[in-house]
Amino acid sequence: MHEIHVDADACPVKDETLRVARRHRWTVCLVGNSWLRVGDDPLVRQVVVPPGPDAADDWIAGHAGAGDIVVTADIHLAARCVKAGARVLNHNGKAFTEDAIGMAVAMRDLMTHLRETGDVVGGNASFSKKDRSEFLNALEAAVQGILRRG
């Protein structure tokens, strides 16, 4: 059975994920450090992990595999899940692939260094309607791709 695993604590696309999952009757595992209000849906499974910096990541990486989709912005979690055979999407719809992981890690490390030295200030751009729309399209395409492969 296919599942969508969501790194849920700071995920801005939970509703969009649930919409696509319901359409295809896929289970969604919302994984985080606290309970979320998502109603009583038989397709939603909430997993509350103990406090800790990598508890949710470890749970997702240990359960996601081929035929599953992972939604996360965490590059290291994405790398672990891609290695396990899962398809991984960022909140803006960009896919993490084996080829893209190295560049994403390098860019994150570079931006961290530039912020620490004061050469760059501020954070990421705010989440937009376009990001939300692109995520919906990418998630639908990922589900369709997995279904086509059987």
**b/e code 109-136 from CB counts within 10 Å (16+ = b):** eeeeeeeeeeeeeeeeeeeeeebbebbb
> pLDDT at residue 123 above 80?
no
Q: What is the pLDDT of residue 36?
A: 84
In terms of pTM, does the model score above 0.85? yes
**Domains of the chain: which residue ranges?**
3-149
Question: What pLDDT, in 10s, does the model give residues 6-63?
Answer: 999 889 999 999 999 999 999 999 999 988 887 788 999 999 999 888 999 999 999 9
Contact 91, 127 (CB under 8 A): yes
Task: Give bridge partners of residue 48 from the DSSP assignment.
Answer: 32
Q: What is the pLDDT of residue 122?
A: 64
Q: What is the pLDDT of residue 124?
A: 63
- Which of 67-81, 105-119, 132-146 is predicted least confidently? 105-119
Q: What is the pLDDT of residue 92?
A: 93
What does each C-alpha distance from 51 to 5, 33, 104 come to in angstroms? Answer: 18, 6, 26
Q: Please, what is the average pLDDT of the chain?
A: 89
CATH 1.10.3470, domain 3-149, yes or no? no
